[in-house]
Structure 1
């Protein structure tokens, strides 16, 4: 039985789980608000599993931002992402998102103090709307609650996989300075950070102010021995060097009066430039090793300010304010701009006529695959500003509690192309005039200046919300007093993503850009009941109605049950329905190019050629779909919380999710269906002219987002916590494991693809942490494990991506008054990420970290 004194400190529990409150004496236990319910309760453990991470555990983890911290959790799965792997083609440089259960970052609701945050103005991977968790300073975090259960009945849209609720510090007293530095063993990624915390208050009011600064240097793929060469054949992978090089490759083409270009690929093969180095001339192309130019982890600088203030306005009424701002800057680099047949050189070009260049196909007009290395590597700089303001009133009456609040949240992003970007029309004009010679690697600097351009992209995302709630006593039941909560919410959302006119006209080649506009209004009404049916059996009932201005309404219920047959044992179960509204980007995306690797199912059976039967880059023009409907999900959880002795706790939960109407752009599936004669709405394949009865090669595919199929997954979470006090110090052992039993991707026709244990879906993830403290000393060691899985067969890779095991450790000394010193290292033994043959960097950039050993030192002074 847990009393008030333990509950007051329970949120300062282990990284992996909170202490279990299995029974409560209502006369002596204070009720607290726990993520997953609008009703205050005595027990931390409820019908839905919640993971609690406190500020002390964040500090001991060695994580410098929330992205790094959350992605190490076993519940994090495929779809989580960080700035790692950002380059000049990324659509959300510098951002980080969390994907619980592998169901997607847009299916995980991120809250700040229980309220919504505006999504990042630039979507990840073109369409994934996400809250940039790195926009929340680590120094400002009191704790993080991870609700590992569907929760749309409680919180509304996007809570299909669960909720990450970040709780900010608001009752800090005193002044504290923190400073840290760190660096990697393998080069790149040096970091430094500093923060100032100040708080003061009395029984009437309290103010907390937090300043935070963070800076990280850039890491390039060239800084790692295994990723500095895109030709991975020496490691057992493929040759991923680009087919667009310098010198380039050429093929005869038909050039229309309008500038359209159709390669004569039915009559000729591509031919590499005669000056292409022998090692780069592979097949019909002159290859280019772009890896050394690419950013592995971008240079980042962030500055943040947080202010919280509460003031008692009268007996029973308190006003509160939350205000936070953060400015971030991120720099990424990519290889010089490539072209893949966008430009031509006529047979009567002045360079051919003068003899300064030799036409490898005399008398023919040419198109080319050529990289403009003369213009330099591409460099993008991203600046983002996140602003948030919450104003509210809360009060307590004899019969109920109430709260009213207004939230304004804005994410504003600016992206600047600083160098390496070339304007298509100027480049073509320079070729036509003979001022730029594609057959030479030396160009006139004035010509390069004339064809080079600076680019811009501006984005804005705004969320405004008004909400009100009352809660209190409902009626008496045999097990005690039932409680209720009733609330309303009105929300307005707006997003825009606007590249400059050059991008909109398709005038900048070799780099993808997006454009999107959208807005919506939404209101919701919800209710929740906590029912102590008997002294041992409780129930939670919740229902939420949502109405959206752009697609209609949705209603979601939830039922939770708790049964305590013993003081030391609690059994629990929950069931609920959840949904995700189509993102404003998915509804309003303008025509946007991407280049996925696709197989041509129409030509492959006829030609058997590798260019048709192997995955090859194809140009896709993708757009939004205003007719999209919300994704829907049904989930349930069955588990137990067992405390066989006072210093040992065991939590086991079985979870199951079934998601339908998944919004997707499964272009390969739709291409296969289309080639089989099945009509596909909003889908078109544009081919080159046919020859010899064989359909022409794919020139372009037009596609849009659709509600296609779904996904199902289930598995088990295991949480263990054991503590021991001895003459040698206090020990705390925590173990957190997630096992994925199944993860099925379901196509529109009902066919399933089993992904558990496949690419980016390891079946096993776990952390084991041992904390020790004695007098003025403390130490932490943690083992992080990601299980093996099959390599990416869609990219032509075979074999298995091995398991990845890393060790983090730190030592802290607090024996000097007001001071605290910490030395630590993450990935202490400098383990390299396991090999993957699916991409040029030689490892899975979304699942494994290439940071290597990172050693750091921290010092804190508080008075």
Structure 2
């Protein structure tokens, strides 16, 4: 039996390909350590859970300046992963970033810091996706990142359907290190990063401080040739490509208020729509060049990790983190779509002096872009605070820990340029002070009157208390039966409050969410690790959670690790998991979105007669509200894997995973439009003079539902090989994710179901991989990595050629010949590979799958003292 002489609280984990050995039975002093994926402190580093680890060196070698830059390159990161993309002023989470494991959504990937939850961003992604903003964690503060690749609700609770990302912060430094980094792309995107890390290891205390400054200049879509125009047809010369220029142009398009389909571009008077922007009877506008691809961002962070020995068996610990982040996001001038009108007797009526014109004396409406007051610009100022205090210790052979956790995240988003107040614009049109059809005649005083400043304030808080105790429950024939039990109480709240102008519907041309919500959660959990044989361990876990807003759930998990030989291990797990409805999904207030939809019912009725062709994709206004009756998403998952160490220098692992998720929370506005598009309670339309026309869409009322199911399975493969030569030491590693199945089902006709997405569809490549080679010799070290993202189908089309696979190369060379100093020169996307062309996206590539950053070269210097 193992005789425990001391317990040391630590956090450790194994790489997927680390050699596995049978439990040691020598009666010598050992430590018990806690691994990601379990609350049980163990005598070895291995467990049945499949884990991938990124060390501080891995993060450095990736060339990434922020955490998302490294995580997005993982083969298991899929659709739903998003970086600090501006996506113009229409995005609702500007400046944020998060990871979607297995492509199951950022809200189905649980993010932990040092094994504990952190609060979500106050601004949801895409109005409803709650996510933890990874930008709050500077790379300089990270010791390593553990990625658990199977469901973990039995261990950690909600949101762990796809897995867990556990960020472990530095806490063991003795000395100081300063690091400076500079980098840039071919155009725009210059970055500077400066960090200072200091640590002290005294007899009774340990302290680590991290200060980090990060600054990145913007990249506009106009800075890249492949996204510089929304008219992809003209740019590529491909007749199958699409002209995505907006139907809201400048000066715009004039239409009859009584029949908006009767319209003509503004080619009258002094100010006219440019000839190259006229398509049919619409004046269009190329918004792409003015939009942020990567916004300007500036962040300052501090981190503190401390521990103090109260006595031989009790220690106090504290974690303090804080960050201020400032982001600037740009977009084209605000568009209007028939919101503004002009009376037939208005003094600025463009046809007042043309009595024979069919529009003479008629009330008008218009599609026009408010370029008069400039392009849109938003500033987002965010503050993040995290504080944990706790005690830990030992009672005989048992370890215990109790802690209090407080986190607050607050963001203020201000629209400071290019935002018109619709009520003021209409008032200025009505009194004749603003002429929308002759913009050069308008005074600066009038423009100042119609322009406004918008404000949106978001706040997210989380308070929790947790306690855990673990240790040997009893002796068995093949070792100690280990037990961990614990409890957690958590209170969360979010608020997302745009100003009264948004609430009154006075701001057009941008999107903002409004949400309020709070919940309490109480959880109890237990785990046992059973040594069935010297070579076989079975682990059983269960967690019960009670939510104040939707009820309770209980999730079990069973896993095993079998070592039939010293160099061979088999592992597996089965469990259930869940995701609670986000507070945004439950408490969202009225929020306007602008999805691109096809009005199938109108297309069937009138074909392509209308100038706004209902048979092709077009932007419409969808009005969303939260649904307090939502239930949780539920899943079953299992994993089977093998780890084989062929030699001391060559090993590999292969894991099969399978997820079955039910009651997915989502919306399907296109399906709603297809099935209920003639119901006036669901879709508001404007009548036209076209025979049999159901009318042009004004707005669609939609909400979130438990709407579908998803099954996915696949393989994770990893291999490592190291060898020595007279020219240096080499290490080669390869990781690959291959999706065997991905089938998302939604409601279909006659009570049946339909396949909404499947493997290989748009942004769902079947294969992702990364090949990395390290070389070191004397004072030099170099690495070369090849990233591969497989091909996939075009959006909404089986006829167009597939989106091509993308291969990028990252490399870096480091020099260690100066005492205590490391100099590194490197580049990501070394050959400046362009993202493959996507037909049905205005920017010409998939921002959710491929990066538009281009080559990023950097110089890094670090000095230890």
TM value normalised by structure 2: 0.94
Aligned to 1:557, the other structure's residue is in SS state strand
Return the alpha-carbon distance in structure 2 between the equivalents of residues 360 and 174 of structure 1. 82
Residue aligning to 1:109 = 110
Task: Confirm whether residue 171 of structure 1 aligns to residue 172 of structure 2.
Answer: yes
Gaps of 5+ in 2: none
Residue 19 of structure 2 contacts residue 567 of structure 2 at CA under 8 Å; is this kept in 1? no
Q: Is the 8 A contact 1:151 1:160 kept in 2?
A: yes
* CA pair 26-341 structure 1, distance change in 2 beyond 3 A: farther
Shift of 1:20: 2.6
Most deviating of 725-734 and 609-618: 609-618
Deviation at 1:43, TM superposition (A): 4.0
Partner of 2:775: 772
The whole-number CA distance in structure 1 between the counterparts of 2:447 and 2:265 is 26
- Could you tell me how far apart the structure 1 residues matched to 2:350 and 2:462 are? 61
1:392 partnered with 2:406:
no
The 3 A distance-change label for structure 1 pair 18 and 639 is closer
1:277 Cα shift?
A: 2.0
Q: Which residue of 2 aligns with 1:258?
A: none
Matched, 1:529 2:525: no
Give, in angstroms, the shift of residue 754 of structure 1: 4.2
Structure 1 distance, partners of 2:232, 2:762, is: 19
Q: Specify the alignment match of 1:162 in structure 2.
A: 163
Partner of residue 375, structure 2: 377
Query: SS of the counterpart of 2:423?
Result: helix
Give the deviation of 1:441 after TM superposition: 3.2
Is it true that 1:318 corresponds to 2:315 in the alignment? yes
What is the aligned partner in structure 2 of residue 614 from structure 1?
Answer: 616
321, 334, 338: which is aligned to 2:335?
Answer: 338
In structure 1, what is the equivalent of residue 712 of structure 2? 713
Which residue of 1 is the match for residue 430 of structure 2? 432
TM-aligned CA deviation for residue 752 of structure 1: 2.0
Q: Return the offset for 1:435.
A: 1.3
What is the Cα deviation at residue 676 of structure 1? 8.8
Alignment of 1:238-257 (within 5 A): 238-254=242-258
State the match for 2:405 in structure 1: 407
Aligned residue in 2 for 1:209: 209
Q: CA RMSD in A?
A: 2.1
Cα deviations by residue, 1:169-225 (Å, 9 ceiling, x for unpaired) = 01111011110101112x000001100111112231011111000000001111111
Partner Cα separation in structure 2 for residue 410 and residue 441 of structure 1: 46
Give the equivalent residue in structure 1 for 2:417. 419
Once the two structures are superposed, residues 672-720 of structure 1 have per-residue CA deviations (whole angstroms, 9 ceiling, x without a partner) of 232598x9xxx71222237644422322111111110121111000010
Distance 1:38 1:70, change over 3 A: same
Render the CA deviation track for 1:400-423: whole Å, top value 9, x for unaligned: 110000000111001011110111
Note if contact 2:677-2:683 (Cα within 8 Å) is conserved in structure 1: no
Matches within 5 A, 1:620-635: 620-635=622-637
Q: Does 1:308 align with 2:305?
A: yes
Aligned position for 1:784: 787
In structure 1, how many angstroms separate the alpha carbons of the residues matched to 2:737 and 2:574? 20
Are 1:757 and 1:763, in contact at CA under 8 Å, matched by a contact in 2? yes
Matched, 1:273 2:267: yes
Aligned residue number for residue 840 of structure 1:
842
SS in 2 for 1:708: strand
Q: Equivalents in 2 of 1:616, 1:434: separation in Å?
A: 32
CA separation of 1:853/1:581 partners in 2, compared to 1, >3 Å: closer, same or farther? Answer: same
Q: Is the 2:473–2:480 Cα contact (8 Å) retained in structure 1?
A: yes
Per-residue CA shift, 1:576-616, capped at 9, x if unaligned?
Answer: 10000000000000010011122223222222227222222
Instruction: Answer yes or no: is the 8 Å Cα contact 1:490–1:524 preserved in 2.
Output: yes
Q: Contact 2:302–2:322 (CA<8 Å) still a contact in 1? A: yes
Q: Given the alignment of the two structures, is residue 48 of structure 1 paired with residue 42 of structure 2, yes or no?
A: no
Question: What is aligned with 1:544?
Answer: 543
Comparing 517-526 and 661-670, the one that deviates more: 661-670
Task: Give yes or no for contact 1:632–1:661 (8 Å, CA) kept in 2.
Answer: yes
Contact 1:272–1:284 (CA<8 Å) still a contact in 2?
no
Tell me, in whole angstroms, the C-alpha distance in 1 between the residues paired with 2:382 and 2:677.
43
Deviations 1:208-258 (A, max 9, x none): 11100000000111111111111111313211111111121011114xxxx
User: Deviation per CA, 1:447-482, whole angstroms, max 9, x where unpaired?
Assistant: 101111111100000000100011000122332111
User: Deviations for 1:82-127, whole angstroms, at most 9, x for unmatched residues?
Assistant: 1224311110100001000000000000000000111001001100
Q: CA deviation at 1:360?
A: 6.7
Task: Assess if the C-alpha contact under 8 Å between 1:351 and 1:357 holds in 2.
Answer: no
Deviation, 1:272, is: 4.5
- Alpha-carbon separation, structure 1, partners of 2:349 and 2:459: 49
The structure-2 alpha-carbon separation of the partners of 1:750 and 1:137, relative to structure 1 and needing over 3 Å to count, comes to: same
CA distance in 2 between counterparts of 1:539 and 1:439 reads 75
Q: Would you say the 8 A contact 2:719–2:733 is kept in 1?
A: yes
Once the two structures are TM-superposed, the CA of residue 31 in structure 1 deviates from its matched residue by 3.1
* Number of residue pairs the alignment of both structures matches: 839
**2-side partners of 1:13 and 1:181: how far apart?**
32
**Residue 517 and residue 773 in structure 1: after superposition, are their counterparts in 2 closer, same or farther (change >3 A)?**
same
- Asked whether the 8 Å contact 2:227–2:844 carries over to 1, the reply is yes
Q: Is the 8 A contact 2:813 2:826 kept in 1?
A: yes
User: How has the CA–CA distance of structure 1 residues 132 and 18 changed in structure 2, closer, same or farther, with 3 Å as cutoff?
Assistant: farther
d(CA) in 1 for partners of 2:180, 2:590? 46
Distance (whole Å) between structure 2 residues aligned to residue 710 and residue 643 of structure 1: 38
Structure 2 residue corresponding to 1:761, chosen from 764, 767, 781: 764
Q: Give, in whole Å, the separation in 2 of the partners of 1:45 and 1:232.
A: 52
Range with greater deviation from structure 2 (595-604 or 555-564): 595-604
Q: Residue 230 of structure 1 aligns with which residue?
A: 230
Bigger shift: residues 386-395 or 503-512: 503-512
User: TM-score, normalized by length of structure 1?
Assistant: 0.94
Picking from 281, 284, 290, the partner of 1:284 is 281
For the 8 Å contact 1:833–1:843, the answer to whether it is kept is yes
**Counterpart-to-counterpart distance in 1, 2:473 and 2:753:** 46
Say if 1:192 and 1:214, in contact at 8 Å, map to a contact too. Answer: yes
**How far apart, CA to CA, are the structure 1 residues paired with 2:557 and 2:63?**
37
Does the Cα contact within 8 Å between 1:26 and 1:42 map onto a contact in 2? Answer: no
Instruction: Compute the displacement of 1:353 (Å).
Output: 8.8
1:835-856 CA distance string (max 9 Å, x none): 1111121111111011111110
Cα pair 1:13 1:54 within 8 Å, conserved: no
1:732 aligned counterpart, secondary structure: strand
Bigger Cα displacement from structure 2, 52-61 vs 34-43: 34-43
Q: Is the 8 A contact 1:300 1:331 kept in 2?
A: yes
Answer yes or no: is the 8 Å Cα contact 2:822–2:863 preserved in 1.
Answer: yes
Contact 2:390-2:403 at 8 Å conserved across structures: yes
Aligned-partner Cα distance in 2 for 1:699–1:295: 28
**Partner Cα separation in structure 1 for residue 377 and residue 723 of structure 2:** 53
- Post-superposition offset of 1:24: 3.2
Unpaired runs of 5+ residues, structure 1, are: 255-262
CA distance, structure 2, for counterparts of residue 329 and residue 797 of structure 1: 43
> How has the CA–CA distance of structure 1 residues 49 and 364 changed in structure 2, closer, same or farther, with 3 Å as cutoff?
same
Residues 45-104 of structure 1: CA deviation (Å, up to 9, x unaligned): 422210011101111111100111111100000000012243111101000010000000
Separation in structure 1 between the aligned mates of residue 598 and residue 844 of structure 2, nearest angstrom? 22
SS of residue in 1 equivalent to 2:33: coil
The CA deviation at 1:11 is 9.8
Shift of the 726–747 alpha-carbon distance from structure 1 to 2, 3 Å rule, reads: same
For 1:533-557, what per-residue CA distance to the aligned partner results, in whole angstroms no more than 9, with x for missing partners? 0011110100000000000000000
The aligned runs of 1:86-235 (5 Å cut-off) are: 86-185=87-186, 187-233=187-233, 234-235=235-236
Would the aligned equivalents of 1:766 and 1:785 in 2 still touch at CA under 8 Å?
A: yes
Q: Return the alpha-carbon distance in structure 1 between the equivalents of residues 759 and 43 of structure 2.
A: 38
Structure-to-structure mapping, 1:701-850, within 5 angstroms:
701-748=700-747, 749-793=752-796, 798-850=800-852
The offset of 1:562, in angstroms, is 1.5
1:576 has 2:570 as partner: no
CA contact (8 A) 2:605 2:694 kept: no
